[in-house]
Structure 1
Amino acid sequence: MTTEQTVPAFDLIGKRYDESFVERDVQLAEGAWLVQQLEPGSRVLDLGCGSGLPTAKQLLDAGIEVVGVDESAVMLELARQQAPGGQYLHQDLRDFEALGEFDAAVAFFALLMLPRSDIPALLTQIRARLRGPRLLLVSMVHGDFDFFPVSFLGAATNVSAYPPDKLRDVVADAGFEVLELQEVEAEAEPGRIEVQLYLRARARD
């Protein structure tokens, strides 16, 4: 087995992710919307927080408490440098029950790193940890495949994707009211355009 197969992809990618991710306007707009919905001091779970940019820093700058979870130690060290003030935890995205309750959760391009079979249970778990406004932001890549091998910024990894209607159904079935779903064309890495899905939801009573 090669080193690249045993090391998490984003440990290999590191800072190149921020340098190569060309378009983040919609992610920033989604973060700004969330800030408008929350009171300062609210607590947000950032699943797959990566390098802390842009979302963890955006929320922290607005006076919101951020708990970031990521499976890449390299990305978490970048987050501590680039978005100081958050609580950053090196652990599996599916293992956060001990972290308490949150006013909102965000998962920007994080759920796509999981097999489809794990995503509904994770969304249900998120819903159980939400309080107050009980908001959820999710972004995925438009597609219809399950843990498919790809190369991203030169690192081998596996990703899952949903078509829009299926993503809406998966989130709704986990106990959320879907508020909005956008489809956006974006340059995910230099020279490669993809269609991205951005979803806003609120946990149902």
Structure 2
Amino acid sequence: MTDLSDRIITHYERHALAWDADRRNAGWNDKRWLDQFVGALPHGAAILDLGCGAGVPIARHLAEAGFRVTGVDASPTFISLCRSRMPDQEWIVADMRSISLGKRFDGVLAWDSFFHLKPDDQRKMFPLFAEHASAPALLMFNTGPAYGEAIGSYRGDPLYHASLDAAEYRALLAAAGFEVIAHAVEDPLAGGRTAWLARSAAT
């Protein structure tokens, strides 16, 4: 499984155009979580979207709502699509695990991306979230429902997913200075996603 986790970036780059088309044509069944995220942010907030994909529908919705988006994805094809669709926003080709942008954001997203990281890489992301979070800031990501690794499939290729358990996520969030404000396990109104919404403390 570790080997499959190392193929995530090449997997998405290989299937980038197909994935983009499938995502745009699919129903947006997780929008209720983005609405919670957006509803708790001030107008014009700066948002860091980690694993932004091709920017549709999430980054486009954020930009149209007046937010300033910085999108990060390791797929050059995805970032090229983002730049063509939303040239006024900032787009960066990078591995989310190694970024250090030197600035902070009012909101940080790792939606439908964080769960592709190996367990140890997920643990290492929480200091990175904190490094890029203003005080206060919102953090939203989704995971699996319980500890473990799983292999899905997309276009005939295996697709790696992993999750820690809920208690460890809570501990990692607390250690990074975040408080959980909303959490759902396999939310039936969001395509079965297990979602986390947290807030960093104000200074």
Query: Which of the five TM-score ranges fits, normalised by the shorter chain?
Result: 0.7 to 0.9
2: CA distance between counterparts of 1:6 and 1:204? Answer: 33
Quote the residue 2:160 is aligned against. Answer: 158
Point out the more displaced range, 179-188 or 53-62.
179-188
Determine if the alignment matches structure 1 residue 67 to structure 2 residue 64.
Answer: no
Q: Check conservation: 2:32, 2:190, Cα contact below 8 A.
A: no
Taking only aligned residues, the RMSD between alpha carbons, in angstroms, comes to 2.6
Quote the residue 2:90 is aligned against. Answer: 87
Tell me the SS of whatever aligns to 1:17. helix
Tell me the SS of whatever aligns to 1:45. strand
- Residue 55 of structure 1 is aligned with which of 58, 70, 81? 58
Distance 1:82 1:186, change over 3 A: farther
Quote the residue 2:176 is aligned against. Answer: 174
Q: Percent identity?
A: 23
* Consecutive unaligned residues in structure 1, runs of 5 or more: 189-194
Report the count of equivalent residues: 193
Q: CA deviation at 1:145?
A: 1.7
Determine if the alignment matches structure 1 residue 126 to structure 2 residue 129.
Answer: yes
Distance 1:181 1:153, change over 3 A: farther
1: CA distance between counterparts of 2:93 and 2:73? Answer: 5
Q: Check conservation: 2:144, 2:193, Cα contact below 8 A.
A: yes
Alignment of 1:1-205 (within 5 A): 8-21=10-23, 22-26=26-30, 28-146=31-149, 148-183=150-185, 184-185=187-188, 195-204=192-201
2: CA distance between counterparts of 1:103 and 1:86? Answer: 15
Tell me the SS of whatever aligns to 1:9. helix
Distance 1:134 1:15, change over 3 A: same
TM-score, L = length of structure 1? 0.80
Q: Check conservation: 1:48, 1:108, Cα contact below 8 A.
A: yes
Structure 2 counterpart of 1:38, which letter?
A: L
Distance 1:20 1:167, change over 3 A: farther
Q: Check conservation: 1:164, 1:197, Cα contact below 8 A.
A: no
Tell me the SS of whatever aligns to 1:16. helix
Quote the residue 1:191 is aligned against. Answer: none
Q: Check conservation: 2:135, 2:201, Cα contact below 8 A.
A: no
Structure 2 counterpart of 1:39, which letter?
A: P
Tell me the SS of whatever aligns to 1:134. strand
Quote the residue 2:4 is aligned against. Answer: none
TM-score, L = length of structure 2? 0.81
1: CA distance between counterparts of 2:171 and 2:56? Answer: 29
2: CA distance between counterparts of 1:172 and 1:152? Answer: 34
1: CA distance between counterparts of 2:8 and 2:71? Answer: 23
Q: Give 1 or 2: higher strand fraction.
A: 1
Distance 1:85 1:154, change over 3 A: farther
Q: CA deviation at 1:6?
A: 9.3
1: CA distance between counterparts of 2:56 and 2:199? Answer: 24
